[in-house]
Structure 1
Amino acid sequence: MASSTHALFIPYPAQGHVLPLLELAYRFADHGFAVTFVNTDHIHGQLVAASPDLVAGQGGAQPEPGQVHFVSVSDGFPADGDRNDLGTLTSALMCSLPAAVERMVENGQFCCVVVDYGLTWVLGIAKKAGMRTATHWPSCAAVMAAGLDLPVLIADGMLDKDGLPTGKQIPPVGDLPMNLAPLAWNAAGTEEAQKQIFRCLNNILKALGQDIVDVLLCNTVKELEEGILSQHPSIVPIGPLPTGLREGKPIGNFWPDDDSCLSWLDAQPDRSVVYVAFGSIAVLNQEQFHELARGLELSRRPFLWVVRPGLANTANYPDGFLETVEKRGKIVTWSPQHRVLAHPAVACFVSHCGWNSLMEGVRNGLPFLTWPYFADQFINESYVCDVWKTGLRLVVKDAGGVLTSEHIAARIEDLLNDPAAMSRARELQQVASRSISKDGTSFNNLRDVIDAMKG
């Protein structure tokens, strides 16, 4: 018999998906739910290494109300496989995950299941068991809406059967004065990866058509995407989900935080530091890595730079760089980003435009220099630069070229001398704060969803 307050949560196995869904799981626990949070074995190992205090579920025991327990299942991927190949990883999950979920549903006595939107297709198992279901989309509503509109785009001849553009003009999506939004899956790596991800989107649409999802959640703010949300009222905005603010509880980071950057920030003047971070997947070639380093050097501004393992092939710094910037630069392998962005010393955020990073920046009133890497990040950049006007693009002059050190330094200076962008960033901070405060739009939406999941 299902428990009235035991919830099963399953994120897609990527950093930007685990973080917000874990915060959502904590929200459910705050309201009396016991939560079983399921990662793949590979991701679970990374989380344990980064957060030794992580509480793993023991055997078949259920967590107590108010607790989040972590368990893991196989992702069906070779141990030495490249898990940054999202197309292949997604295909492996589609083969391995349904059986694992079926076993958990049979044995777990859950009342509801909340999964990442990319795993919507597994919810048929939960629905057959009479459970309430929800999906969570960790990016902007515009991209989610574009996926929902996919059949229309294909029927109207704007996309072919593989989701590739036919050359026919695609109308803007929501508030975005551009045509990239429906094509996020076409900036996801190799052509084969794009096709695999597109097939996954089609499976999601088929699942939605079978009425196996009770609610579509999105980590966004109603007031920031008013146009697109008014066209798609089925999307429920519950953001920004403020990750990392729970003292003593795992955040969901894949690498250990280097807290030394906080004491370094304490010694810097207010609104002086350029924060540079590119998330968990972006990769720079050696030439671009050097140009970025030289750009930070040329800017003569204090900077905090996150150089995670794998950001560059070798991460060799230019000759003399470390010595030159020693007194005004700080380099870490991973930062407690939620605390960094809230620090008064930080002036701006040089970002890959991952949605979680954008929401954290918005929540802290920061302007952006945008440097998207793939997929939805290009659409997110358009929100920052074209709609919200809280940032500036870094622009490569030649196709296949690099961002030069001179351009990077000049754009840092342009942004930090742009009072309009600074003012708009503070305005959006207030909008985001109101949305998650008592009786704000996201606050009320999330409260209603959690109550509905209890039944």
Structure 2
Amino acid sequence: MASPPHALFIPYPAQGHVLPLLELAYRFSDHGFAVTFANTDHIHGQLVTASPTLAAEQEGAAVPGQVRFVSVSDGFPADGDRNDLGTLTSALMSSLPATVERMIEKGQFCCMVVDYGLTSVLGIAKNAGMRTATLWPSCAAVMAVGLELPELIADGMIDKDGLPTGKQIPPLGDLQLDLAPLAWNAAGTEEAQKHIFRCLNTILKALSTVDYLMCNTAKDLEEGILSRHPNIIPVGPLPTGLRDGKPVGNFWPEDESCLSWLDAQPDRSVIYVAFGSIAVLDRKQFHELARGLELSGRPFLWVVRPGLADTDTYPDGFLEAVGKRGKIVTWSPQHRVLAHRAVACFVSHCGWNSVMEGARNGLPFLTWPYFADQFINESYVCDVWKTGLRLVKDAGGLVTSDHIAARLENLLNDPVTASMALDLQQVASRSITTKGGASFNNLTTVINALKGR
């Protein structure tokens, strides 16, 4: 009797990468796969703290229809700064191949699915006769830019280090790229940008060997780009967090008290504010945001995770002024918050997972990108789909409280943007959740192929 198919999944150790790959792993388990999901020790510890039931899913052998969690070293010192993504990635690329080789020797895997950032291990799987797939958790536009790097350099659009030359970059599908920085050119110092660009080049070379290149997007959301790059397979938007009793993949415990608070609010009245797992605001900007929410006069739910701000104090009198009109939590069950009838809009850093979750729930956005691909995602929201408005920094580099309050008022009284958001909801939802939807069919095809059918 043939053994049940067993898949090895390995995410890049960051919140926005673990979430969609875990949902993809659950999709595989729905189709009868036994799945081993290998996080780094550090991330696994955070997941267990946030979801204590996850520890039980580490016991025993992988079982068909289930996801089993294991942990591996990231090759980084225990007390190292894991916010230094360049150093962390280098350590991981050095240590992970040998670990994966040992796992493959001990396991009975038929295929491996990894985050695009970990393509260094694809050759090991290939040598073992395994089928391979990667998931790109951002928009197809960023991947397409990467795939076209040789042409961009040859045409003088960017130099050999990925830095812009000032020459106009042509439109990519519906996206005019001069409206948004290239992903690696919005990521800190010039040296950091060069490092990310070099890593991306290495990754893209390895991607040429993968059997299936999946992307967490939908055909109708990026049709121009996907038609130009048919090797990119859209399988999204992956609806993370909707499985009762299953670990979501959050790094912090969810504060569910915000749901009962939302229950007490009128329909489409609440401003939801969340900036993901990496963005940082300095004290002055944090206080301007707080004052902007206060000035809006509207109810708000604000996620202030540990490390969001370089201060642990709010403006004088802020908490007293907003009273019960404001609810502040350290982390939210975002998938349920965005689906709640009381939420009117999403003030977001424009991480792709957040953009996809907001789109699936028909919400208009107020956009505030922090780094990397988030600026390209903002261009989709504001310029292509027209489902949101930008927040704009003043001459001193600050998004002021008056500007925040005014933009919120504009957004919440804009029926055209609200209508566009609801139209986009239909496009995003039918693709992955409906049998016969393009992403649903694509994912089923990939899963069956990785089974060997």
TM-score normalised by structure 1 residue count = 0.97
In structure 1, give the amino acid aligned to 2:225: I
Contact persistence 1:118–1:204 (CA under 8 A): yes
* Superposition pairs of residues 391-402 of structure 1, within 5 angstroms: 391-398=388-395, 401-402=397-398
Aligned to 2:319: 322
**In 2, distance between residues paired with 1:260 and 1:344?**
16
Q: What is the CA distance between 1:56 and its match in structure 2?
A: 5.5
* Superposition pairs of residues 302-317 of structure 1, within 5 angstroms: 302-317=299-314
Q: What is the CA distance between 1:58 and its match in structure 2?
A: 5.6
TM-score normalised by structure 2 residue count = 0.97
In structure 2, give the amino acid aligned to 1:145: A
* Superposition pairs of residues 90-101 of structure 1, within 5 angstroms: 90-101=89-100
Does residue 425 of the first structure (1) align with residue 421 of the second (2)? yes
Aligned to 2:214: 217
Does residue 175 of the first structure (1) align with residue 174 of the second (2)? yes
**In 1, distance between residues paired with 2:315 and 2:151?**
50
Match of 2:409 among 407, 413, 416: 413
Q: What is the CA distance between 1:4 and its match in structure 2?
A: 4.8
**In 2, distance between residues paired with 1:101 and 1:113?**
10
**In 2, distance between residues paired with 1:227 and 1:181?**
18
Deviations 1:395-414 (A, max 9, x none): 0122x521000000000000
Q: In percent, how many aligned pairs have the same letter?
A: 82
Does residue 266 of the first structure (1) align with residue 237 of the second (2)? no
- Worse-superposed segment, 279-288 or 185-194: 185-194
Aligned to 1:136: 135
Contact persistence 2:181–2:375 (CA under 8 A): no
- SS where residue 222 of structure 1 aligns? coil
In structure 1, give the amino acid aligned to 2:314: Y
In structure 2, give the amino acid aligned to 1:293: A
Contact persistence 1:216–1:236 (CA under 8 A): yes
Q: What is the CA distance between 1:118 and its match in structure 2?
A: 1.0
Match of 1:282 among 256, 268, 279: 279
| C-alpha RMSD over aligned residues | 1.5
- SS where residue 359 of structure 1 aligns? helix
Change (3 A) 1:401 1:453: same
**In 1, distance between residues paired with 2:289 and 2:187?**
23
Aligned to 2:25: 25
**In 2, distance between residues paired with 1:232 and 1:16?**
24
- SS where residue 272 of structure 2 aligns? strand
* Superposition pairs of residues 236-247 of structure 1, within 5 angstroms: 236-247=233-244
**In 2, distance between residues paired with 1:16 and 1:276?**
17
Aligned to 1:114: 113
Contact persistence 2:185–2:193 (CA under 8 A): yes
Contact persistence 1:57–1:63 (CA under 8 A): no
**In 2, distance between residues paired with 1:316 and 1:98?**
44
In structure 2, give the amino acid aligned to 1:42: H
Q: What is the CA distance between 1:197 and its match in structure 2?
A: 1.8
**In 2, distance between residues paired with 1:13 and 1:3?**
30
**In 2, distance between residues paired with 1:276 and 1:317?**
16
List gaps (5 residues or longer) in structure 2.
none
List gaps (5 residues or longer) in structure 1.
none
Contact persistence 1:157–1:166 (CA under 8 A): yes
Contact persistence 2:181–2:376 (CA under 8 A): no
In structure 2, give the amino acid aligned to 1:416: L
Contact persistence 1:284–1:312 (CA under 8 A): yes
- SS where residue 168 of structure 2 aligns? coil
Aligned residues: 451
**In 2, distance between residues paired with 1:17 and 1:65?**
24
**In 2, distance between residues paired with 1:180 and 1:451?**
39
Change (3 A) 1:391 1:362: same
In structure 1, give the amino acid aligned to 2:397: G
Aligned to 1:41: 41
Deviations 1:47-105 (A, max 9, x none): 0000000046668x531101111111111112222212211111111111111111111
Contact persistence 2:362–2:423 (CA under 8 A): yes
Contact persistence 1:147–1:182 (CA under 8 A): no
- SS where residue 350 of structure 1 aligns? strand
- SS where residue 13 of structure 2 aligns? coil
**In 2, distance between residues paired with 1:9 and 1:180?**
35
Aligned to 1:87: 86
* Superposition pairs of residues 340-379 of structure 1, within 5 angstroms: 340-379=337-376
* Superposition pairs of residues 289-304 of structure 1, within 5 angstroms: 289-304=286-301
In structure 1, give the amino acid aligned to 2:69: F
Deviations 1:265-299 (A, max 9, x none): 00000000000000000000000000000000000
Contact persistence 2:179–2:379 (CA under 8 A): no
**In 1, distance between residues paired with 2:256 and 2:292?**
25
**In 2, distance between residues paired with 1:186 and 1:100?**
32
Contact persistence 1:146–1:182 (CA under 8 A): no
**In 2, distance between residues paired with 1:5 and 1:190?**
45
In structure 1, give the amino acid aligned to 2:299: P
**In 2, distance between residues paired with 1:80 and 1:161?**
35
- SS where residue 330 of structure 1 aligns? strand
In structure 2, give the amino acid aligned to 1:309: P
Contact persistence 1:221–1:435 (CA under 8 A): yes
In structure 2, give the amino acid aligned to 1:228: I
- Worse-superposed segment, 195-204 or 353-362: 195-204
Deviations 1:245-277 (A, max 9, x none): 111110000000000000000000000000000
Deviations 1:27-66 (A, max 9, x none): 000100000001111100100000000046668x531101
Q: What is the CA distance between 1:109 and its match in structure 2?
A: 1.1
